[in-house]
A and B are shown apart, each in its own frame.
Chain A
């Protein structure tokens, strides 16, 4: 058959791959492979289709065959690139391209591909070398710059030793000045050049570039370059010059970038902030400072006069200047700050951001504070136009923010809540005509009331106040459907009240998508196992976990492509940003917190087997080795609490405990240790069976410690993130693991046996033997090797393990009378988790032959007692939950809460509305109590023996 004919036949395979019809792509490949069994393109396309249909093992074999042949044609290389990427084999991809480029060293495109393969694998050193070679060969300046930035990225890489870094920057510097064309021909090259000079502290050279006409013009039109310029000036200590430059921009060009005002401010108080000789003899310079202050003040006053209400920069700069003068003891007029605050409020009180603008200036002394308070208290309560309303809202927010300890009592807070509610209903008519897509002007009053109710709940412990918040805020969202801030408070409160389904409903209405999953999924998934109904078959929350992690897949698939694109379009300023974004998302704390949460749910739902254990173990170990970035957004919550109290986020955290690094580390240790004991995979086996590249260890830990040492480390600061029930669970898991460790180690089959079994399974599955593994001949009895040594003596279970479930019973008794079932659910699900960990730890000893050959039957007898005790406790807990679910169904008691609120509340929100929402809370509680209760019962049944 001619090449053209074959090509015609291959085209449909591409179409099938493009449309996601992997199955038909495989069929078509198989058909053509019969005629062309040696065709690499066909093999690589089939490998790709296999990867995409999750048939990893089969795909591996094909990939290896193609790699062996060292292909050079574009089609094969591209198909292989995608297949290998799907398998996480970046290193193999690099080798493939390098081999191809070696064979065709004049192929420029192949050179680029090889460079990009290294870029994707973060092999900066190799990337640098390739780019250097390409520059020599193809004489395109672009390649020189690629080599420059590769050297720079290598210097930035965390794995590069500190001593190497300056050498690499110097190399980058030497290369960039060797460029045949100057760097200023293009803003991004110029940016790169400046960045290198900054790293090397070569400020004079940088200044030379910046002072040139073209340098100035680039900085005037390019914000990124200007950012580096500003930085270089500051590093040089040229604050004074920067201040002058900024002043000129403000005066001559009407620039109102706040950065320019900050530059003027920094320059003005330069001597006060860094006194050269900090003594009283320094009068000359303090006089100088006063002159400068006067000059700055004049500037800001001029700007204020000129801009009037059009721009807030001038007045705000005056405030900031006064604040700084006070900090340095330079303020000469004790009333000035308060005057400026009042003026600012008078002028900009009708801007929504007035409250936020003034927050930094509110550390006031008592007399100032009382003046300001009186000023704000007389702001007229006008509801006839938006401007009046905004003023009132800002006044309320400022008054609330500056409350002092003695102002915050239950009674005063109740009064305030009533005032906010009243204002809310008075303000509402103003927005009657607004389209449903607009926010209501009155919303902020409802948010203030929400904050107040939460605070009263904190002060009294009475859940009724949270219910009142719900009734009001639910009412507010019917009036203002787009008010996501209202929904955020509702989500938090519903979780506190044990009505997770309602929280999820609001979360979904907000249409969280893409990267927002990383920053916001904590709202619904933090400690979500307490509400998971996975054990009784409802996978809603477990699915939510999986959906929220899709973004990490697209990150690893897409972001690398854009790094490559930034190279192609020479946007050097973006490359380090993209790389750190990718890294920050890939190593997200939330990602792995959700991972653990999903694992906890998974174990309640899927039968515990060695397959799950092995797979999860490998993944958790990788997670344990990596550094984590906290990208969660808590600032989004509308916090209007007084500055001396805890903020709304802290107040509404589930169980009052934040999740974070400590929580994640602790649970990782618990599960890795349990899985490691239960698993047959030791490090040597894992190494052989691992597909794809081993991720780098980026976590901060002592590299001399073994994994076991790290797992045993106890860090009090990590434990501080746990609830008391979680802390007990951790102690239980530790005691259990310590006790069983010798028996696991004794009974675990040796690596050779494990590998042989794995090889057997792979061959059964794919028809090919497992690569790189020689199957040893084993002297086996029933598949188990004979032991030379005696089994370890059987120890009694530790006290903590024996008594754990008694402790749980006591905790259940404590928490079952709480009005919210959340804590009860937490205690119950943590106890369930303890039982599941027990099952993981004892799984190995389920097999009678293992027990017999290892002479562990008396150990197993103690398991049976422990299991029986646990099951008996869990059955009781399940019954308590189900019964509680029935009684929590009464919504009448919940709706009566509205009565303890104030009269406005009752007169404005009718009883039916309250009753409907009370019923929804009651229904949601019943559903979760019943579901968790039944789930526990189901687990008890499944693992009864």
Chain B
């Protein structure tokens, strides 16, 4: 139960309850505006009836040829609104728009290899690991979780247009690329 609506520039005044969370970065104004000025239909907000923001997703469309796809850049839910399937709803909107409007072949996202809970969730939503990106989150250095903390999984979910399901490969976890090889 929440309102699903477009992300608007003025939401930057309202997102503190989401962004003060450690895993959610607050970027410069330009970051949000650059997404809104190109892919406003891939950016949306979940809002409580009280008007409080619950979470948001920012996405884009990118790639060429058969690599043309929707990409989830940021998806986040405020601590008090977790476990309500909000992320699932926002993802499904983004998938729907990537499919119907952008005619993409798949939707993808990056997730820390150590973030098992998130990986599980994405797998339930139909995503699978396509490849492992070395040192994608290089800034933290190797932490307790070793390489898993700084490497990312590129997870993909095929859209109907990907008839041959090229965005799915069973051995994705073993295919390792450097961060310079990805956009």
Contact = CB atoms under 8 A, between A and B. Distances in A.
A515 interface: yes
A194 interface: no
Given A221-B100, A353-B80, A562-B30, A577 B37 contact: no
Contact of A482 (B22, B30, B41): B22
A227 interface: yes
27 contacts: A188-B40, A258-B2, A258-B49, A310-B85, A311-B85, A351-B84, A352-B83, A356-B48, A356-B52, A482-B21, A482-B22, A516-B16, A516-B26, A518-B13, A551-B29, A558-B30, A559-B29, A565-B33, A565-B34, A565-B37, A571-B36, A574-B9, A577-B9, A577-B10, A581-B9, A633-B14, A636-B17
Contact of B97 (A221, A565, A571, A581): A221
Interface in B87-136: 89, 93, 96-97, 100-101
A562 B17 contact: no
B12 interface: yes
A558 B12 CA distance: 15
A582 to B, nearest CB: 8
Interface in A658-716: none
Interface string A177-219: 0000000000110000000000000000000000000000100
Interface string B15-38: 011011111001111100110111
Interface residues of A, number: 60
The residue in A356, A357, A437 that gathers the most chain B C-beta atoms within 10 A of its C-beta is A356
A515 B16 CA distance: 10
Given A311-B85, A356-B50, A437 B29 contact: no
Nearest to A577: B9
A533 to B, nearest CB: 28
Contacts of A484: 20-21
Given A437-B22, A482-B22, A573-B40, A562 B10 contact: no
Interface string A257-295: 111010000000000000000000000000000000000
Given A360-B49, A558-B30, A580-B10, A221 B96 contact: yes
The residue in B16, B19, B48, B52 that gathers the most chain A C-beta atoms within 10 A of its C-beta is B16
Contacts of A112: none
Nearest to B79: A439
Contact of A223 (B4, B10, B14, B82): B4
B163 interface: no
Given A316-B49, A558-B33, 17 more contacts: A221-B41, A221-B96, A222-B97, A223-B5, A223-B6, A224-B41, A256-B1, A258-B1, A258-B49, A352-B81, A356-B50, A484-B20, A514-B27, A516-B20, A559-B29, A569-B37, A584-B10
Given A311-B1, A356-B48, A356-B80, A224 B97 contact: no
Contact of A571 (B4, B19, B38, B96): B38
Contacts of B20: 484, 510, 516, 636
A256 B140 CA distance: 39
A457 interface: no
B177 interface: no
B155 interface: no
Contacts of B82: 352
Given A312-B1, A515-B29, A562-B34, A577 B8 contact: yes
Nearest to B19: A516
A515 B48 contact: no
Given A311-B1, A316-B1, A223 B44 contact: yes
A635 interface: yes
B29 to A, nearest CB: 6
A513 B20 CA distance: 10
A635 B83 CA distance: 22
* Interface majority SS (helix, strand, loop, mixed), chain A: helix
A353 B2 CA distance: 11
A224 B6 CA distance: 6
B84 to A, nearest CB: 7
B74 interface: no
Contacts of A261: 1
A559 B28 CA distance: 11
The 4 closest A-B pairs by CB, nearest first: A581-B9, A562-B33, A312-B1, A313-B1
Contacts of B81: 352-353
Interface of A: 187-188, 217, 221-224, 227, 256-259, 261, 310-313, 316, 351-353, 356-357, 359-360, 437, 439, 482, 484, 510, 513-516, 518-520, 551, 554-555, 558-559, 561-562, 565-566, 569, 571, 573-574, 577-578, 580-581, 584-585, 631, 633, 635-636
B3 interface: yes
B79 A352 contact: yes
Given A258-B3, A555-B29, A578-B37, A353 B84 contact: yes
* Interface majority SS (helix, strand, loop, mixed), chain B: mixed
A578 B14 CA distance: 15
Contacts of B5: 223, 227, 259
A439 B101 CA distance: 39
Interface of B: 1-6, 8-10, 12-14, 16-17, 19-23, 26-30, 33-34, 36-38, 40-41, 44, 48-50, 52, 79-85, 89, 93, 96-97, 100-101
B1 A554 contact: no
Given A221-B100, A223-B41, A311-B85, A514 B29 contact: yes
Contacts of A352: 79-83
A515 B26 contact: yes
Contacts of A577: 8-10, 36
Contacts of A316: 1, 49
A571 B40 contact: yes
A584 B29 CA distance: 13
A667 B37 CA distance: 39
Contacts of A482: 21-22
Nearest to A573: B40
A574 B82 CA distance: 29
B114 to A, nearest CB: 10
A519 B37 contact: no
A581 to B, nearest CB: 4
Given A223-B6, A482-B21, A558-B30, A353 B48 contact: yes
Contacts of A585: 29
Contacts of A437: 22-23
Given A221-B97, A482-B21, A581-B9, A636 B49 contact: no
A513 B26 contact: yes
A357 B34 CA distance: 34
B80 to A, nearest CB: 4
Nearest to A256: B1
Contacts of B21: 482, 484
Contacts of A357: 1
The residue in A316, A351, A577, A633 that gathers the most chain B C-beta atoms within 10 A of its C-beta is A577
A514 B10 contact: no
A574 B10 CA distance: 11
A562 B80 CA distance: 33
Nearest to A568: B37
B89 A256 contact: yes
B37 A631 contact: no
A578 B93 CA distance: 23
Contacts of A356: 48, 50, 52, 80
Contacts of A227: 5-6
Contacts of A555: 29
A584 B12 CA distance: 11
Contacts of A221: 41, 96-97, 100-101
A475 B93 CA distance: 42
Nearest to A436: B22
Contacts of B100: 217, 221
A565 to B, nearest CB: 4
A514 B27 CA distance: 7
B83 to A, nearest CB: 7
A865 to B, nearest CB: 51
A437 B6 CA distance: 30
B90 to A, nearest CB: 11
